[in-house]
Structure 1
Amino acid sequence: MPTDRRPSPTRAAALPAPQRRRLLLGAGAGAGAALLALPRPLRAAGLPPMTEGPFYPSVAWRARALDWDADLTRVERGGRVLQAQGEALDLGGRIVDARGRAVDGAAVEIWQCDVHGSYRHPDGAGERIDEGFQGFGATRSDAAGRYRFRTIRPVPYPGRTPHIHVRLRHPAWGELTSQLFVDGEPANARDFLYRRLTPDDRRDTALVLQPAEVGAPVAWRASRDLHVGA
């Protein structure tokens, strides 16, 4: 087991002044060198915690009123299959901790507004609703930390830039709620939440959209690893 090599106050006080001074300075220099030798840790904060907003659907309501699998673009209702309006987006990546290790079995939830700017929520439906868009989806990361959703490219609604809400849960670190923002979106600069983010936060919440290949079932793809501080 490692031992503490720092001089005890009692031992140091018993030495002559010059020797006591050398001992204490030597211990301090050794500690400083050890600190400098440590690898620079990853940013501990990971995804910045952010508000869930007013339109997070409660478990009781969504179990009653929503499909909530990982495909938000397809809704089965009354024996019919409805397809979401908007530009389909394949969103995936990994859940990783501050050391870059994959997080297995993390619960991952996303929610966002539809093409009309309406959320699927009992108190925030809006004037128009896309009945083919779930608005909320859930999955779990696999053994490699991977998660995947099919949703739509986020659109703005009054007062907000396009964004996707995300919530992560795991017994190792509890719960984290954040948001993802379309990288390069001009409206980001006017968004009150985005403007509060540090440069590191903006990097960690950036959703870089790439056009999908010709003939793909989606219009866009985005790979976004989600970092947690544990």
Structure 2
Amino acid sequence: MMRIARSRKGRRDFLRKSGVVASSVLLAVWREPEHALADELSPTPACKDHPEQTPPQTEGPFFLPRSPQRASLLEPGMHGTKIVLTGRVLSTQCTPAVSALLDFWHADDSGEYDVDGFRLRGHQFTDSQGRYRLETIVPGLYPGRTRHFHVKVQAPNRQVLTTQLYFPGEQRNSRDFLFDRRLLMTIDDRSDRKAAQFDFVLKLG
């Protein structure tokens, strides 16, 4: 039966047993994406050069390597508000990063992480225009933190960018010592399923 991290003691036990995985470890064996995204996302709009790379942030204690390749983290019986996150992985010159790896993980609707399996964990690859699409739920509030997604982004044969994405309008944003407004997603919540957008920028030169 899947166990969920529920306390600080549980987190300390998990860290002692497994150790924190270094963010420089290769995330996955490179392979072509299983599902093309060309029919699922709108065409890439025009953009300006991005002189700054997306800010890095700590991976936290709950990263697990070798997550399954999938664009949807939804499972039967899962509670929470559904959200679809889309965007691109670009260079600082605004060129698309093709077949870039994105590895996402986050807490469930109750603010708890699965540390024994891969619930709400998964990786995918960008398409020929650098686009990605993730279907999941809005994470619950984790003790001491505001609402957030974790992600590692890696262009082929490049360094890993580890960072976090944040939700606008959250009361805890101002009290979270890790919060960075440069990592705010754009959110459209005018329907029963939220839509979010964020473009990652990597230094590839």
Q: How does the TM-score come out when normalised to structure 2?
A: 0.70
Alignment partner for residue 155 of structure 2, among 170, 173, 185?
170
Count of residue pairs the alignment pairs up: 157
Deviations 1:137-156 (A, max 9, x none): 11100000000110111221
| Residues in 2 aligned to 1:143 and 1:174: alpha-carbon distance in whole angstroms | 20
8 Å contact from structure 2 (residues 106, 120) kept in 1: yes
Larger C-alpha radius of gyration, 1 or 2? 1
Aligned CA-pair RMSD = 2.1
| Residues in 1 aligned to 2:148 and 2:172: alpha-carbon distance in whole angstroms | 11
Deviations 1:67-87 (A, max 9, x none): 55221112xxxxxxx232100
Same amino acid, percent of matched pairs: 33
8 Å contact from structure 2 (residues 88, 131) kept in 1: yes
**Does residue 47 of the first structure (1) align with residue 54 of the second (2)?**
yes
Segments of 5+ residues of structure 2 without an aligned counterpart are 1-47
| Aligned partner of residue 160 in structure 2, secondary structure | strand
**Does residue 115 of the first structure (1) align with residue 93 of the second (2)?**
no
Amino acid at match of 2:70: D
Structure showing greater relative contact order (alpha-carbon pairs closer than 8 Å, 6 or more residues apart): 2
Segments of 5+ residues of structure 1 without an aligned counterpart are 1-39, 75-81, 126-132
8 Å contact from structure 1 (residues 57, 120) kept in 2: no
8 Å contact from structure 1 (residues 55, 119) kept in 2: yes
Partner of 1:35: none
Partner of 2:185: 207
Task: Give the C-alpha shift of residue 227 in structure 1.
Answer: 1.3
8 Å contact from structure 2 (residues 99, 130) kept in 1: yes
* Distance change in 2, residues 1:212/1:142 (3 Å): farther
Q: How does the TM-score come out when normalised to structure 1?
A: 0.63
Amino acid at match of 2:184: A
**Does residue 186 of the first structure (1) align with residue 171 of the second (2)?**
yes
